[in-house]
Chains A and B, each alone.
Chain A
Amino acid sequence: MAGVDWKKAYHDLESHIEHIMKETSTLVHNAVPELRINEVARNDQNGLLEIIIDATGARMKYALYLIDRTGKHETIKRPYQQSNTFLLDVPGGKYTLQAFVQEDGAADQTASVKINFRHDRVDDDE
């Protein structure tokens, strides 16, 4: 409509948008995802117990304890590794799994979760 200096307003808006984008850039750079374990999946891989730790965070590494709840077998402790997948050769039974995730270079930033499950091992020759 007559009277609005759209060209002048547009140039000002361009500058305004640039400042918004700069602010957004700062926010994104400073945004750190909260470290957490989303899910621990278990699968049978040809008789082996496959554990996959699904987590959110930055530059993560993963570890686990597998505790035999009947006490017949020694606890398995797998140290921190880059991969979120563990393959364990364990007999069937009742276990407690404690999964850990840590941000690389930040030993004080750790999340963990405990789950109980029954592992029914299916051997190849059965």
Chain B
Amino acid sequence: MTRYLMICNAYPTRDKVYANGFLHRRVKAYQTYGIEVDVIVMTTRVMKDRFHDGVHIKYMDQHQVASFLKENHYPTVLFHFINPKMFHGITQLPKAERPNIVVWLHGFEAEAWHRRYYNFLSDIESLDAMLERKDTVFETQRSFLREIMTSSDYSIRFVYVSRRFKELYVDPYTGVVPKEYYIIPNIVDDQLFPYRQKVKTDRLNLCSIRPYTARNYANDLTVDFIMALSRKRYFSKLTFDLYGDGPLFEVVTEPLKRYGNVNLHQSFVPQNEIPDIHESHGVFICPTRHDSQGVSIGEAMSSGLVPLSNDVGGVPEFVEHGKTGMLAPRDDVETMVENFDHLYKHPKTFMEMSAEASRSIHRQAGVEAVIKQEMEVIQNGWS
């Protein structure tokens, strides 16, 4: 059986189940289609090999990867969250011995330094640190991406998780478009998040499941949205459940404590518990300032929730406003309220949207849809 190699910056283990969990789901899905993948996690720490849920994980630095690749031949190497150190081992191989390469671009590794400005404007030290990283880390990364996107020394393909992510963020950042690229979203696991039919009253139960670690998750907009909605006559009929944890949780959610119908659950939600939360709600509050795809939005849609989000980044490629969800312009709380108001007043529309959201995301990003495309990219058509 042909084995492939995945090189990444983090991979789940028993101790850290959620570190890049979506990579593990990918590897497990490949296994069901007969593809076995070895995993290398880049690290300078000395760590023993681990086995997690049937996957062999090695931990190596760039030099060890280079030695490993010289001694072990893989037809194709798969990169996630690539950087120059991760790629070093490939450059050390003679050109004729280099494997085929597939590089997935997910977000921060292929974006300009200023994209998430709201995360470093809170104090001058953070801003100064980012300005320094602009010239060191980001320029190095940009040059590296440009190099591998244009070099004829590698047989290389690129996978972007959304077209808007590619065209609005990555293309202008690198200034080049690779010869071979594909647009394939991350998996939205329709098996873990099956559609469960909603009833009209489910639209009165809204939930949010988000990290409270950075402002790009826009939890402040969730709070502003609920506070604006509290002026509606029907507000007391609604229930809100906010799940998540992080340094920003308490300060951001503080204004909501006065509302008896807002339940704050300060905890990280294990992924296997999310479907149950989805089952008891009908609307998913998910404003965002930055998302190359919005996997958690997709998961809620898969379960049959109608998402309330923003026309930002890759989100509009997965949420069609008025058909599979409701989108407001960026930072526009007033429109978010109008959007929910529409759902409240049109329960039939809510029901239709719920079903269509699930169908749509399954078609676009379900396990079978994504894995078939990825297998095609990994295995076929290499010259």
Contact = CB atoms under 8 A, between A and B. Distances in A.
Contact of A23 (B115, B118, B168, B171): B118
Interface stretch (A4-12, A36-44, A79-87, A98-106): A4-12
B117 interface: yes
Interface string A21-46: 01110010000000000000000000
B168 A8 contact: yes
B173 to A, nearest CB: 9
A5 B171 contact: yes
A4 B331 contact: no
Contact of B172 (A13, A22, A24, A27): A13
Interface string A44-72: 00000000000000000000000000000
Contacts of B172: 4, 6, 9-10, 13
| Contact residues of A: prevailing secondary structure | helix
Interface residues of B, number: 14
B177 interface: yes
Interface string B160-186: 000000011001100111000000000
B121 A9 contact: no
B114 interface: yes
Contacts of A113: none
Which residue of A5, A6, A24, A27 has the most chain B CB atoms within 10 A of its CB atom?
Answer: A5
Contact of B117 (A1, A5, A13, A23): A23
B26 interface: no
B330 interface: yes
A3 B176 contact: yes
A122 interface: no
B330 A3 contact: no
B114 A3 contact: no
Contacts of A20: 114, 117
A19 interface: yes
A22 B175 CA distance: 27
B176 A1 contact: yes
B171 A19 contact: no
Interface in B215-246: none
B177 A3 contact: yes
A32 to B, nearest CB: 14
A23 B102 CA distance: 38
B330 A5 contact: no
Contacts of B175: 1, 4
A6 to B, nearest CB: 7
B171 A4 contact: yes
A5 B118 contact: no
A27 B331 CA distance: 16
Nearest to B164: A12
Contacts of A15: 330
A29 to B, nearest CB: 13
A9 B171 contact: yes
Contacts of A23: 117-118, 121
A4 B176 contact: yes
Contact of A5 (B114, B121, B167): B167
A121 to B, nearest CB: 46
Interface of B: 114-115, 117-118, 121, 167-168, 171-172, 175-177, 330-331
Interface of A: 1-6, 8-10, 12-13, 15-16, 19-20, 22-24, 27
29 contacts: A1-B176, A1-B177, A2-B177, A3-B171, A3-B176, A3-B177, A4-B171, A4-B172, A4-B175, A4-B176, A4-B177, A5-B167, A5-B171, A6-B172, A8-B167, A8-B168, A9-B167, A9-B171, A10-B172, A15-B330, A16-B115, A19-B331, A20-B114, A22-B331, A23-B117, A23-B118, A23-B121, A24-B121, A27-B121
Given A4-B175, A23-B117, 9 more contacts: A1-B175, A3-B171, A4-B176, A4-B177, A8-B168, A9-B172, A12-B168, A19-B331, A23-B118
Q: Which 8 A-B pairs have the closest CB atoms?
A: A3-B177, A9-B172, A4-B171, A12-B168, A1-B176, A20-B117, A5-B167, A4-B177
